[in-house]
Amino acid sequence: MTKTYGTLRVLNGIDLDIADGEYLTLVGPSGCGKSTTLRIIAGLETQTTGDVEIDGRVVNEVRPSRRDLAMVFQSYALYPHLTVRQNLVTPLQLRDMNFWQRIPLLGYLAPGRRAKMSKIEDDMRWAAETLKIEPLLHRKPGQLSGGQRQRVALGRAMVRNPAAFLMDEPLSNLDAALRVHMRAELSELHRALGATFVYVTHDQAEALTMSDRMAVMMDGDILQLGPPDEVYEDPRDIRVAEFIGSPKMNILPGHGDSAGRITALGVAVEEALAEPSEGPLSVGFRPEHLHIQPEDTGACFSGRLTYKENLGSDVFLHLAVEGIEVKAVIRAKPHEADFAEVGEDVWFSGEAGKARVFGADGKRVALTEPQLQRKTG
């Protein structure tokens, strides 16, 4: 599937299969095309080329209201003049009741209205109980907190019992603590409903904690698609490696030789190239895979400590390292970082088997099993 606006190409060719009941997250920086992809699935945008299929049926010409999808927006999109109860039942009344049954007062006399309203009331109560918003049914959106409005927006989607839920950054308007709480609630809701969730976010923490699979998008392409653990541990592109993870992966300039040996900043790395070739490389270590050393062991990196970020259970050490512009970050336990003071030089090394090596084109390079290499340079 592609999408262009005039000469601007937003999607370069997206191929994506989403399983029934799956929680799939589209994650990437602003402008990468993830929201456009979601809106095309919903029918709110039309793709330039390609097809959208739901349950094996091409729905390119099917109106959004007929695709049996429920959209949850960043802005919640609740009717401000209606109560929570009315916000929940209105979509069902529009879908299930005919014109005569919806007419105020006279509609009560229309045949079949009572049975439909009873079913709508049951569906509304089920959604309210599931989301624990029963005490809010008589309030209006302006009387609710951000988290409560988010639950109401989810409830309005749930009552329709759609084929899939499409969520466009639904937690971005919430404060940090409430976002963490709502992440857990959304995951529990997904398990309880067994429904398909397609979730768009720029927050990689949301993608890592909630998804069955995540698709990392940049510049209109899906760079990598897979389970969160796989994407985090085995990034196939240097852009994925740097985007997924907080703090991001440390990238050190390196070099490979014709014997397959790898060095980073002149220090030998314990991995070797599976297909030896000489040339520049980028060597990546996650912050938790760099370890402070009390002294220079002959196979260590060094940097000047510029900032200690104390998070209670962990301390992030920010180091100015000669040869790289961005500061390196080490994740350590408080007792491991006690001796390090801001302004001092710190020795550190990479954990064996944890280096991720990328070629000049930014793609992952295959390595052999770790084997001790002697220091060079």
State yes or no: pLDDT of 372 exceeds 60.
no
Q: Is residue 310 part of a domain?
A: yes
Give the C-alpha separation, 193 to 126, whole Å.
12
- Residue 40 tokens read as 């095309």
* Domain CATH code at residue 279: 2.40.50.140
State yes or no: pLDDT of 368 exceeds 60.
yes
Closest-CA residue to 283 (of 354, 216, 375): 354
Backbone angles phi, psi at 23, to 5 degrees: -105, 100
Single out the residue in 201, 233, 265 at which a domain terminates: 233
Q: What is the reported pLDDT for 376?
A: 41
Give the C-alpha separation, 357 to 362, whole Å.
9
Q: Is residue 287 part of a domain?
A: yes
Q: Is residue 332 part of a domain?
A: yes
Beta strand 356-358 with 290-293: parallel, antiparallel or unpaired?
Answer: unpaired
pLDDT tens across 200-251, in order?
999 989 999 999 999 999 999 999 999 999 999 999 999 999 999 988 999 9
Residues 295-307 have a mean pLDDT of: 88
Beta carbons of 184 and 178 less than 8 angstroms apart: no
Same domain as 252, residue 226? no
Same domain as 299, residue 158? no
Q: Is residue 176 part of a domain?
A: yes
Single out the residue in 203, 233, 263 at which a domain terminates: 233
pLDDT tens across 116-162, in order?
888 889 999 998 988 889 999 999 999 998 888 888 988 988 888 88
State yes or no: pLDDT of 112 exceeds 90.
no
Single out the residue in 233, 259, 278 at which a domain terminates: 233
Residue type, 1: M
Same domain as 201, residue 275? no
Beta carbons of 27 and 202 less than 8 angstroms apart: yes
Give the C-alpha separation, 366 to 346, whole Å.
30
The full DSSP string for 125-145 is: HHHHHHHT-GGGTTS-GGGS-
pLDDT tens across 249-299, in order?
999 999 999 999 999 999 998 889 999 999 999 999 999 999 998 888 778
Backbone angles phi, psi at 269, to 5 degrees: -100, 145
Same domain as 254, residue 118? no
Among 90-99, 119-128, 166-175, 365-374, the minimum mean pLDDT is found in 365-374
Backbone angles phi, psi at 26, to 5 degrees: -95, 115
Cα dihedral 85, 87, 88, 91, rounded to 10, equals: 140
Same domain as 203, residue 278? no
Same domain as 221, residue 99? yes
* Domain CATH code at residue 8: 3.40.50.300
pLDDT tens across 173-185, in order?
888 888 888 888 8
Percentage with pLDDT > 70 across the chain: 97
Q: What is the reported pLDDT for 150?
A: 86
Q: Which letter does DSSP use for residue 373 in this model?
A: -
Q: Is residue 238 part of a domain?
A: no
Give the C-alpha separation, 181 to 146, whole Å.
12
Q: Is residue 13 part of a domain?
A: yes
Token look-up 């900043």 returns 265
**Structural domain boundaries enclosing 313:** 247-373
SS3 (DSSP) at 165 = strand
Question: What's the structural domain count of the chain?
Answer: 2
Query: Per-residue confidence at 377, pLDDT binned at 50, 70, 90?
Result: very low
Question: Taking all residues of the chain, what is their mean pLDDT, rounded to a whole number?
Answer: 90
Same domain as 253, residue 208? no
Same domain as 51, residue 171? yes
Q: Is residue 296 part of a domain?
A: yes
- Residue 76 tokens read as 């919640």
Residues 16-40 have a mean pLDDT of: 95
Q: What is the reported pLDDT for 374?
A: 39
Instruction: Tell me, rounded to whole angstroms, the distance of Cα 258 from its chain centroid.
Output: 39
Same domain as 169, residue 290? no
Strand partners, 290: 350
Beta carbons of 355 and 367 less than 8 angstroms apart: yes
Closest-CA residue to 273 (of 357, 165, 200, 157): 357
Same domain as 318, residue 186? no
Same domain as 148, residue 18? yes
Among 22-31, 66-75, 81-90, the minimum mean pLDDT is found in 66-75
Same domain as 270, residue 196? no
Q: Is residue 7 part of a domain?
A: yes
Q: What is the reported pLDDT for 370?
A: 58
Residue with the larger pLDDT of the pair 370 and 259: 259
- Residue 280 tokens read as 């520049």
